[in-house]
Every structure is written in structure tokens, then in C-alpha cells.
Amino acid sequence: MKLIVYNLGQDDPKKCTAHRLLKFGEVKFVNNIKGLPYNCVLLNPFSRSVLSPKDIKYSKNGLAALDCSWIEAERSFDKIKSRVQGRILPFLVPSNPVNYGKPGKLSTAEAFSGALYILGEKEYARKILSNFNWGEEFFKINQELLEGYSMSKDEEDVLDLQEKYLKGIKNRKGSTEEI
């Protein structure tokens, strides 16, 4: 499966996980919308559709991520949504040192890895994060979720698992404010 990064050049390359993946030959960078394969899956945190194993049919065209500043992200995603299949990742917890434990703050490498795992590419998912000293921690934190999502048949199953998992956290902690 080809991994594509639509790079807007807004991040510090020394801190950017996408640049590190490029260095190791794991991703291809494109600098304009036309570089994205038509109908590929674009990991989009603003999408209303959740990634599920059923999306494997689109991922054959590629799996893409937008690498830009969070300040510019929503506007940037709006410009390309007609060309791609935008999908938000279900609940996962980052292990990267900048956003450790902050749900929804995955690095580009974690997002690719999580998506690959959900789409059944488990070995490839692990290979992507093997380039980072915190990579294995991502799988430890998210193992139950990743396995469950990867065994789901469609978006509805993924959302059901996510809801049950989050309710379990709420019940253990007593309130959703602590999630």
C-alpha cells in the first residue's frame, strides 16, 4: 500500500514524523492536490466518516495524510475533499513524546500506523513505527482498540466498539472529563 503525504511545508522537518518516514523511504511527499491519487483514503480529523476495514477498497489507491499546521488544517482539508475519501481515525491514544496520552493528537506516523493496522496491514503498521523509539508504546497503549477495530466489518462496528470502550473508561473513572 502506498503512503502519501500532502506536505504544505509548515512543520519543522526535524520534529516532523512524516519527514522521518520520508527519510526511511516509507512515504512519498506531494506538494499539490493533483499529486494525491484520485479516490485514495485521506486521513482527515474533520471527516464525518470513520475509517474501517471496509475502506480497504479505497486504500488500494493509496493512504494519504495532510502534513500541515493544525491552525491551517481544516481549511486545507476542505480544499481537497472532493478528490479523496476522507476518513477520521477512531479513538486512539498517542505515544509520541509531544502529545503522549492526549487522544486525537496523533503524529502523522501514528495516524498512518493506526490506519494500516485497522485496514489489516498489521506488520506494515509496526514497521512504520519501528523508526521511532516510542513506536512500540503506541501498540501497547492501543492494542485492545486496534485489534477490535481491525476485526470490525464496517464503520458502524468501529463506532460501536469505540463507544463501548469510552463508556468503560467513563465507568472506571467516574466522569468523561478525565478522558
Range with the poorest average pLDDT among 82-86, 99-103, 116-120, 169-173: 169-173
C-alpha cell read off for 137:
508504546
Q: Which residues are annotated as a binding site?
A: 17, 66, 89, 108
Mean pLDDT of all residues in 132-141: 97
Q: Which residues are annotated as a binding site for S-adenosyl-L-methionine?
A: 17, 66, 89, 108
pLDDT surpasses 80 at 81: no
Q: Which pLDDT band, with edges at 50, 70 and 90, does 8 fall under?
A: confident
As a whole number, the mean pLDDT across the chain is 87
State pLDDT tens for residues 48-59: 999 999 999 998
* pLDDT score for 176: 46
* Pairwise pLDDT comparison (36 vs 116), residue with the higher score: 116
C-alpha cell read off for 129:
513505527
* pLDDT score for 77: 64
Q: Which pLDDT band, with edges at 50, 70 and 90, does 7 fall under?
A: confident
* Pairwise pLDDT comparison (30 vs 178), residue with the higher score: 30
Q: What is the spatial order of strands in the sheet that 41-43 belongs to? A: 28-30, 3-7, 63-67, 41-43, 85-87
Q: How far apart are alpha carbons 22 and 162 in whole angstroms?
A: 31
pLDDT above 90 as % of the chain: 61
* pLDDT score for 67: 78
State pLDDT tens for residues 28-72: 999 888 888 888 999 988 889 999 999 999 988 899 998 766 566
**Cα-trace Rg, the chain:** 15
pTM of the model: 0.88
pLDDT surpasses 90 at 179: no
Count the neighbouring beta carbons within 10 Å of the beta carbon of residue 48. 8
* pLDDT score for 174: 55
